Amino acid sequence: MSVTMADIAKECGVSMMTVSRVLSGKGSVSAKTRDKVMQVARAHNFAVNSIASSFARRKSNFVGLVAPMDRIVGSDYFSQIWKGVNDALKVTNYDLALFDYHSSEFAGGARVQSLYHSRKVDGILCVTPTAEDAFLDTTHDQRIPLVVLGKPVNNPQICTVNCEDYQGVIDMAEYLYNQGHRRIAFLGGPKDWSLAQLRVDAFKDFCQRRRLRVPKRFIAHSEYTPESSYEAGLRLLEVPHRPTAIIAGNDISALGIIKGAHTLGLRVPEDLSVAGSNDYHYASNTEPPLTAIHQPLRDMAKLGTRTLLDALDRNEPPTGHLAVKTSLSIRQSTGPVPR
Amino acid sequence: MSVTMADIAKECGVSMMTVSRVLSGKGSVSAKTRDKVMQVARAHNFAVNSIASSFARRKSNFVGLVAPMDRIVGSDYFSQIWKGVNDALKVTNYDLALFDYHSSEFAGGARVQSLYHSRKVDGILCVTPTAEDAFLDTTHDQRIPLVVLGKPVNNPQICTVNCEDYQGVIDMAEYLYNQGHRRIAFLGGPKDWSLAQLRVDAFKDFCQRRRLRVPKRFIAHSEYTPESSYEAGLRLLEVPHRPTAIIAGNDISALGIIKGAHTLGLRVPEDLSVAGSNDYHYASNTEPPLTAIHQPLRDMAKLGTRTLLDALDRNEPPTGHLAVKTSLSIRQSTGPVPR
DNA sequence: CTGAAAGCGCTTACAG
DNA sequence: CTGAAAGCGCTTACAG
């Protein structure tokens, strides 16, 4: 029905192999033959049937991106991840297939197996902040080329690419400390979220190093949503000896805290400094503009994707643990400790 | 290397065809044979090689989603589209392949051709608010099953699925009119964006119908970005006889206008009513919460995807023009006209 | 209900 | 530099 290599070959008076070589750029062909084939192929608008090609090569040239789409697709987080993945992919001949991560289906690894074994993606990028490690272990155990983006994983065999989240929290805490703050609180995220936990740990370590005695309630948790962080913010602030600064585990939480502060009649940053941990696009557009740990997520995703592709090229499993540096975006939601 | 149907067949003592029938669920097989095959397949964790299957069936079971990722991936717009597409896809055995729309590559249709002819996606969903119609025409002319989501298209042959954007603007304008507003302005988007233009047209029609004489400068344009809408907002408001209400062509612009109003010392909604046109998630989380036209984008995308899949099932090109109803989300950024 | 044959459109591996 | 053969793992179409 549509034009095939055999058609092109016949019209050029050469074998299919020659056409294949010209079109794939692999193997040598005389300039004259090459030109002829190219010309005829172009005239027919011929494009190699990549399914047939994949079938013959046993390689799909698809990378699978597994993510809990419901939770993250609309987020700036995913946006940056996406762009980074694309940055890496667009200079290759890989395309992207997306797969939704539902914990129920994925937990046992059954779905990822069908992904890899059935859909034959060549490798998998996981952006699953809430994923059970068990899922990742299963995937890894099946010898599926896997890179996990943006979260720490217990199994050291699994290749991960992260931001230096731990150091980012330390840096932000140091900055607030240098602004004179001593009653600093931290609003963490869901406890089953390893990255959220990592940030809490960083804050605790900072307190210990600086010998800050922090009341237990200064280390709070929210669901990283506007509502729950608003509530958590109120709880943190509606007490005597409230904190003078709060670091939130994500930007959304920071905005919730600011809203809570306003409800209580507190000014930000005059009465309370609030910092976020993502530096999303809208962070500079809030009132007041948000101070945040800047995470180069796009770079992270690009690096992670390249790590996966490099491993695929070398035909070995991806390994190692890479991290990209964070920085601080200091804006107007933080300032010196109130006197 | 990995287990194939032939392996399963041999182990079961049946032919490959029987295994194929059991696994695909097509054709009849005795219950006994079926059970045996299922059991052996499960024991080997066997999954049909979908590349081989696609190759034999000449059908990839991939739907291609073409979108200008740089512009929309992080947006709530895309998030909802995505979810709608997924809603429709997850009850099928189609997966999703994503393709970035760059006007340069796509304008001539070359890339989409390679997408369809090379990658062999079975059909294409376009979410390309800024796409030239030429691109869509080319795609359509190549008899590629195509559904365009969220924008009007000139060529009536091309299947589109939209929200009732025109009526939504009319409804919002009517609501403001009923609140006593007579000096209503409209901040549109980029002029090469057909949906943006449609909304402007709706507003103009409303004015005509209601015999509102609107100064030319009351119909303004921005780039739908925070910065440009802030500027545009200032220009609308920094004049004598400023509008008492502004409808923005998207939520971002509405927020920019509110910021501009605050800069000028105007209170929203006491001095100025501002309405958005998307009703994105964060719209209810702004200060003040934003009144907006609610667009059921998720439903739209789901409907569009089903329209495409239905057409693929029937093996005919998708046709027609569907639209889902909008509604008004009235919040605190609008109110009665100031006295 | 079951199977043998042919073929989907390429690429790999070999031969010249 | 070029080509003939075999095969990738399924499904379609036919036969029984």
For CA atoms A18, A24, A28, A34, give the dihedral sign.
positive
Q: Residues A189-221: pLDDT tens digits?
A: 988 888 889 999 999 999 999 999 889 999 999
Do A281 and A169 sit in the same domain of this protein?
yes
Instruction: Tell me how many domains chain A contains.
Output: 3
Do A158 and A171 sit in the same domain of this protein?
no
Q: Which nucleotide does the CA of A9 lie closest to, via C1'? A: D3
User: A154 is written with which tokens?
Assistant: 């217990």
CA A320 to chain centre: 17
Assigned domain for A99 exists:
yes
User: A40 is written with which tokens?
Assistant: 């005829």
For residue B106, the model assigns a pLDDT of 58
For residue B173, the model assigns a pLDDT of 97
Q: Look up residue B163 and give its amino acid.
A: C
Quote the crossing angle between the two packed helices A31-43 and A16-24, to the nearest 10°: 90
* A134/A155 Cα distance (integer angstroms): 10
- Which segments in chain B show pLDDT lower than 50? none
For residue B159, the model assigns a pLDDT of 96
What is the side-by-side order of every strand in the sheet holding B159-163? A321-324, A159-163, A146-149, A123-126, A62-67, A95-100, B95-100, B62-67, B123-126, B146-149, B159-163, B321-324
Counting Cα atoms < 13 Å in the Cβ hemisphere of B137 gives 8
Which CATH number fits the domain that encloses residue A147?
A: 3.40.50.2300
Do A94 and A27 sit in the same domain of this protein?
no
Which CATH number fits the domain that encloses residue B16?
A: 1.10.260.40
- Write out the residue range of the structural domain in which residue B266 sits: 165-295
Closest C-alpha among B161, B165, B175 to residue B200 = B165
- Size of chain A in residues: 339
Listed by range, residues with Cβ under 7 angstroms from strand C are A 1-2, 4-6, 16-17, 20, 23-24, 26, 48-49, 52-53, 55-57; B 14-18, 21, 27-30, 32-34, 55-56, 58
Do A76 and A139 sit in the same domain of this protein?
yes
Backbone angles phi, psi at A328, to 5 degrees: -105, 130
Closest C-alpha among A56, A58, A44 to residue A20 = A56
Do A156 and A244 sit in the same domain of this protein?
no
* A24/A310 Cα distance (integer angstroms): 20
Assigned domain for A56 exists:
no
The DSSP bridge pattern shows strands A123-126 and A146-149 to be parallel
The reply to whether A18 Cβ lies less than 7 angstroms from strand D is yes
Assigned domain for B200 exists:
yes
* A305/A86 Cα distance (integer angstroms): 9
Helix (H) or strand (E) holding B10: helix B5-12
Do B67 and B125 sit in the same domain of this protein?
yes
For residue A103, the model assigns a pLDDT of 58
Inter-chain CB proximity B50 and A78 less than 8 Å: no
Do B85 and B160 sit in the same domain of this protein?
yes
For residue B105, the model assigns a pLDDT of 59
For residue B167, the model assigns a pLDDT of 97
Q: Is B253 on the interface with A (CB under 8 A)?
A: no
For chain A, the 3-state helix, strand and coil shares in percent, each to the nearest 5, are 45, 15, 40
User: B198 is written with which tokens?
Assistant: 């449609």
CA B188 to chain centre: 19
Assigned domain for B188 exists:
yes
Q: Which nucleotides of D are covered by protein (CB under 7 A)?
A: 1-5, 7-13
Position of tokens 């869901």? A190
Do A268 and A193 sit in the same domain of this protein?
yes
Closest C-alpha among B152, B151, B66 to residue B109 = B66
Do B31 and B68 sit in the same domain of this protein?
no
CA B216 to chain centre: 31
Q: Look up residue A174 and give its amino acid.
A: E
Do B18 and B82 sit in the same domain of this protein?
no
Closest C-alpha among B185, B193, B146, B186 to residue B320 = B146
Task: Please give the protein residue whose CA is closest to the C1' of the nucleotide C8.
Answer: B56
In 10 A of CB A94, how many CB atoms? Answer: 21
Nearest by CB to B96, from A50, A97, A287: name it.
Answer: A97
Inter-chain CB proximity A114 and B47 less than 8 Å: yes
CA A279 to chain centre: 14
- Which segments in chain A show pLDDT lower than 50? none
